[in-house]
Amino acid sequence: MNSFQVVAIPTEIAEQVRNTGKSPNYGFPAHREVAAGRAPCRHCLKLIEHGQEELLLFTYDPFRELGEPPLPGPVYIHVKECPRHSGGNAIPEEYQERLLTLEGYGENRAVLKEVRVSDGGEQAAAEQLFREPSIRYVHVRSTEAGCFLFRLERC
Ligand SMILES: [Zn+2]
């Protein structure tokens, strides 16, 4: 069942950070370094290769265009241009069997349900959330770091 699709951050955001070296809407300087640990790129949703590739760390509000209040937090993208994740209805491989928190949001940015997965239950958990008609979209976060990873939208 195609109940949702994966949504990465917009390309215009990634380009803005790469071009200006600043966080969109906040103006804080983006930090550039070689990836030193697990660093998922929020644009292509691939991992930024540890010890090899450079990342940009910046402040991003995942509720941009969705509602208030904002909830700015740190995210990474590749320094080099990368293709935006193409969507699709499966949790990307890089995030499977990880410690993830899935937050289901309804009208007015209200959190209606939160589910934590640790053992590969992420796809089933996401599909389950979208069976609730009042859930409009889902934010997927790292349970350990708390950082926003990507959004799931109802199809
Ligand atoms: Zn990337």
Give residue 84's pLDDT: 98
Cα gap 12→100, rounded to integer Å? 26
Starting from the edge strand earliest in sequence, which strands make up the sheet with 73-78, in order? 31-34, 54-60, 73-78
Neighbours of ion ligand 1 (CB under 5 A): 41, 43-44, 78, 82
Mean per-residue pLDDT of the chain: 96
Is the model's pLDDT at 1 over the cut of 60? no
Residue keyed to tokens 């934590």? 116
Model confidence pLDDT, tens digit, residues 20-30: 999 999 999 99
The yes-or-no verdict on residue 48 having pLDDT over 70 is yes
- Whole-number Å distance, alpha carbon 36 to ligand 1 midpoint, is 16
Mean pLDDT, rounded, for 106-125: 96
Cα of 39 vs centre of ligand 1, distance in Å, is: 10
As a whole-number percent, the residues of the chain with pLDDT over 70 amount to 99
pLDDT at 2 over 90: no
> What is the pLDDT at residue 65?
86
Letter for the amino acid at 6?
V
Please name which of 65, 77, 54, 59 lies closest in space to residue 22, comparing C-alpha atoms.
Answer: 59
Rg (CA), the chain: 15
Q: Which of 63, 153, 144, 73 is nearest to 110 (CA)?
A: 63
Q: How far apart are CA 101 and CA 121, in angstroms?
A: 11
Q: What is the pLDDT of residue 145?
A: 94
How are strands ordered across the β-sheet holding 111-117?
Answer: 4-7, 148-154, 137-142, 100-105, 111-117
Q: How far is the CA of 101 from the centre of ligand 1 (A)?
A: 22
3-state secondary structure of 88: coil
Q: What is the pLDDT of residues 73-87, one digit of tens each?
A: 999 999 999 999 999
Distance of CA 73 to the CA centre of its chain: 11
Q: Are 40 and 47 in contact (CB under 8 A)?
A: yes
State the pLDDT confidence band at 8, using cuts at 50, 70 and 90. Answer: very high
What's the average model confidence in pLDDT over 146-153? 97
